Structure 1
Amino acid sequence: MSAEIICVGTEMLLGDILNSNAQYLAKQLAQLGIPHHYQTVVGDNVERLKQVMDIATSRAQILIFTGGLGPTPDDLTCETIADFFGAPLVEKPEIIEDMTAKFAQRGRVMSANNRKQALIPQGADILPNPTGTAPGIIWQPRPGVTILTFPGVPSEMYRMWEETAVPFLKSQGWGQEIIYSRSLRFWGIGESALAEKVSFYFDLTNPTVAPYAGNGEVRLRVSAKAASEAVAADLIAPIEKEIREIAGLDYYGVDNDTLAVVVGKLLQASGETLSVAESCTGGGLGQMLTDISGSSEYFWGGVISYDNSVKVGMLGVNPEDLDKFGAVSATVAEQMALGVKTRLSTTWGLGVTGIAGPTGGSDTKPVGLVYVGLAGPKDEVTSIEYRFGSTRTRAYIRYVSACGALDFLRRKLVTRV
């Protein structure tokens, strides 16, 4: 038994709307332990929707539709489903009554075309929409096939799913087990290198381990299927522990952790403070830190030293070193870090300078070259060089530069005696 998600709407094919409904439903199905192997996006076209249904009914038992339930001519989902299974559409007076009341509450009069939303296949049950005017249906048109339809408006779909669809699915004996996952997060190691270290875990069946990468980091999703989240968590725990031991310092957090969150917790635990001096990141590092509520307890501020005159005047960078080594250098990054630490009287200081591109690079200093300086409690300074690649976008280089700076500090905070 498995489910398939079918999202209806030409606007998604054109890229005008992000298909967040599929992501939500996929997570919900996982929580219910219902296998889900396919997702389809189809435009507002009767024949193509029927083709999708023909394929879906051959490989899934639960078909979940979103979109195409509105009052306009291009809203074709319900009538197409009815026609596919050879059932007539019938008007439900209770839907008319519900819509009329909702329009009245909003000080509006229901137009004639809204009556279309009251037409559902004969034999189908209404899936109530508490907030909007377009109801869905729950229908089992033939043995082994269950249809659930939802409007495309996410807020309406979420409530309909939680209040009606989930209890229905559980009443049918589905959702007796859940799939629970932990997403382990890594920085400073490539996907292939990490995969090589933990490859023997990829053959597990319960829990399962799968890698995925993006925006400079690697994640390992560890998932288990069990009768409860607690039991699944117990299955995952030893695998997670082993992977973390293998990865060492390259592991930095789990699930919704970010490098900024982890660094913040480490600073808060030690009662220490941080300031930053940014060049190529242009304030991105400070934004990551201040995105966290309560970060003022450990993050005191920063200087965006984009021009060399600011590096010299505000941070005390030696102009002779700027001439000799250039703004993008380990020496300047270290002086930036020490300068902002001294100026703001913090425990730690970070300095970031680099070439974000797409212009400004050279043979000796290509686009993607970044230096991060770190000044510590006793004014000791160190630095690290990153080469993020000359073919990367400016936005990517700026983002991973800020993350790299946080990771550099994280490793220092974790490993110091």
Structure 2
Amino acid sequence: MSAEIICVGTELLLGDILNSNSQFLAQQLAKLGIPHYYQTVVGDNPERLKQVIEIAIARANILIFTGGLGPTPDDLTCETIADFFGAPLVEDPEIIEDITQKFAQRGRVMTPTNRKQALIPQGAEVLPNPTGTAPGIIWQPRSEITIFTFPGVPSEMHRMWYETAVPFLQSQGWGKEIIYSRSLRFWGIGESALAEKVSSYFNLPNPTVAPYAGKGEVRLRISAKAASEAAAEELIAPIEQQLKEIAGLDCYGADDDTLASVVGELLRSAGETVSVAESCTGGGLGQMFTEIAGSSDYFWGGVISYDNSAKVRLLGVNPEDLEKFGAVSPVVAEQMAIGVKSCLETTWGLSITGIAGPGGGTDTKPVGLVYIGLAGPNDEVKSFEHRFGTMRDRWFIRHLSACTALDLLRRRLLTK
């Protein structure tokens, strides 16, 4: 037995609305241990919706619809489902009363078009909507098929799911097993390189391991099916430990960890501080630090030295070195790191200077060339060259630069 999520709305196909409902439902199904293998988005078209239903009932037992339950002519979900299964629509008086009261509470009168929302397939149960005017249904048109419909408004759908759908599914025996996942996060290693190292884990039956990549990082998701979250964690723990040992420093955290949060905890535990000097990232690195609550414990500030004059006046970069080597150079990155560390009197100084593009590159210094400087205790200073590629856009190069700077500091803090 499995579930299929079907999201209805032309606005979803046009990209006018982000489809967060499918993500929410997928996570909730996993918590109940209900497998689901397909998600479908279809526009407000009865014939295409019927085609989707035809396909879905051949491969799933639980069909979960969101969207298309409003009062307007293009809200066709409920009547299309009823028509597909050959059931008449009947007006539910309790829904009429509920909608009338909600309009009255807002000082309004229910319009005739809202009566449409009270039409449900004969034999279906009402799935109450405590906050909105569009109720859903729970319906078993065939013994092997269960249908849920929800409005597309996320806040309404979430409450209806928790208050009615979950208890119903649990009464049918679901929720005795859950699917629980933990994601390990990696920086400084590509997806293919990591996959090669841990390929033997991809065929495990329970827990399973799968790789994901995005925004410069790689993740390994470990998922276990068990009777409880605690039991699932017991299955996951040894696999997680083995994967961490294989990856070494390339694994920086898990789940909601970020490079900035991990670096922050390392600094806090050591009683150390950091400041930043940024050129091509324009404050992006400092923003990553300050997104973490309590980061003032270890992050003392930064200098955005976009122009060379700011590098000289604020950070003490040697103008002769700027003239000779250019702003994008190891020596300037090191002097920027030393300068901000000295200026703000922190334990560590971290700097970034590079060419984010799309213009400004040359044959010897192409777009994507970035130097990161790190200055530390006992006059320690070092620069690191990175070439992030000429085909990447400006935002991505800046993002990679800031994250790589954090990662360099993380590795240094772990190996000092």
What TM bracket, shorter-length normalisation? Answer: over 0.9
* Deviation at residue 366 of structure 1 after TM alignment: 0.8
Which residue of the partner structure matches residue 176 of structure 1?
A: 176
Structure-2 separation of matches of 1:123 and 1:19: 30
Instruction: Say whether residues 1:293 and 2:272 are aligned partners.
Output: no
Q: Which residue of 2 aligns with 1:99?
A: 99
Runs of 4+ in structure 1 deviating by more than 6 angstroms, as ranges, are none
Amino acid at match of 1:397: I
Equivalent residue, structure 1, for 2:392: 392
Shifted more, 74-83 versus 166-175: the winner is 166-175
Comparing 37-46 with 322-331, which one deviates more in the overlay? 322-331
**CA distances 1:157-184 after superposition (whole Å, capped 9, x unpaired):** 0110011101100101122210000000
Q: Secondary structure at the match of 2:315?
A: coil
* Separation in structure 2 between the aligned mates of residue 297 and residue 108 of structure 1, nearest angstrom: 53
TM-score after normalising by structure 1 = 0.99
Q: Report the equivalent of 1:130.
A: 130
1:194 — aligned with what? 194
Find the residue that maps to 2:210 and give its secondary structure: strand
State the match for 2:6 in structure 1: 6
Q: Which amino acid aligns with 1:151?
A: P
How many Å separate the matches in 1 of 2:102 and 2:297? 48
Which digits, 9 at most, give the CA deviation of each residue in 1:353-400, with x for residues without a partner?
000001011111111111100010223101111111110010000011
Aligned length: 416
Q: Which amino acid aligns with 2:111?
A: S
* Aligned match of 1:154: 154
Pair 1:214-2:223 in alignment: no
Query: Does the alignment pair 1:16 with 2:24?
Result: no
In structure 2, give the amino acid aligned to 1:152.
G
Distance 1:121 1:175 in 2: 27
Alignment of 1:51 with 2:51, yes or no, is yes
Letter in 2 for 1:202: F
Amino acid at match of 1:290: T
Question: What's the CA shift for 1:333?
Answer: 0.6
| Matches of 2:243 and 2:343, distance apart in 1 | 41
Q: 1:297 deviation in Å?
A: 0.8
Give the match for residue 69 of structure 1.
Answer: 69
Question: Could you tell me which residue of structure 1 aligns to residue 255 of structure 2?
Answer: 255
Give the residue type in structure 1 aligned to 2:149. T
State the match for 2:302 in structure 1. 302
> In structure 2, the residue corresponding to 1:59 is in which secondary structure?
coil
Per the alignment, residue 143 of structure 2 pairs with 143
Q: Which amino acid aligns with 1:267?
A: L
The Cα of 1:352 is off from its aligned counterpart by 0.3
> Deviations for 1:118-177, whole angstroms, at most 9, x for unmatched residues?
000000000010111100000000110000000000000011001110110010112221
SS in 1 for 2:26: helix
Q: Distance in 2 between matches of 1:32 and 1:325?
A: 60
**Shift in Å, 1:105:** 1.2
Match of 1:322 in 2: 322
Cα distance in 1 between the residues matched to 2:124 and 2:405 = 57
Equivalent residue, structure 2, for 1:331: 331
Distance 1:294 1:105 in 2: 43
Distance 1:243 1:106 in 2: 56
Question: Which residue does 2:241 correspond to in 1?
Answer: 241
Q: With structure 2 as the length reference, what TM-score do the two structures score?
A: 0.99
Residue in 2 aligned with 1:347?
347
In 2, distance between residues paired with 1:326 and 1:187? 29
Q: CA offset at residue 262 of structure 1?
A: 0.3
Q: Which amino acid aligns with 2:314?
A: M
1-structure distance, mates of 2:101, 2:303:
57
3-state secondary structure, aligned to 2:96: helix
Q: What SS does the corresponding residue of 2:220 show, helix, strand or coil?
A: strand
Q: CA deviation at 1:103?
A: 1.1
Unaligned segments of structure 1, at least 5 residues = none
Q: What CA distance in whole angstroms lies between the structure 2 residues aligned with 1:291 and 1:109?
A: 46
Which residue in the other structure is 1:404 paired with?
Answer: 404
SS at match of 2:69: coil
Q: Which amino acid aligns with 2:328?
A: V
Unaligned runs of 5+ in 2: none
Question: Among the aligned pairs, what percent are the same residue?
Answer: 80
* CA deviation vs aligned residue, 1:259-288 (integer Å, no higher than 9, x gap): 000000001111111100000000000111
Alignment-derived partner of residue 204 in structure 2: 204
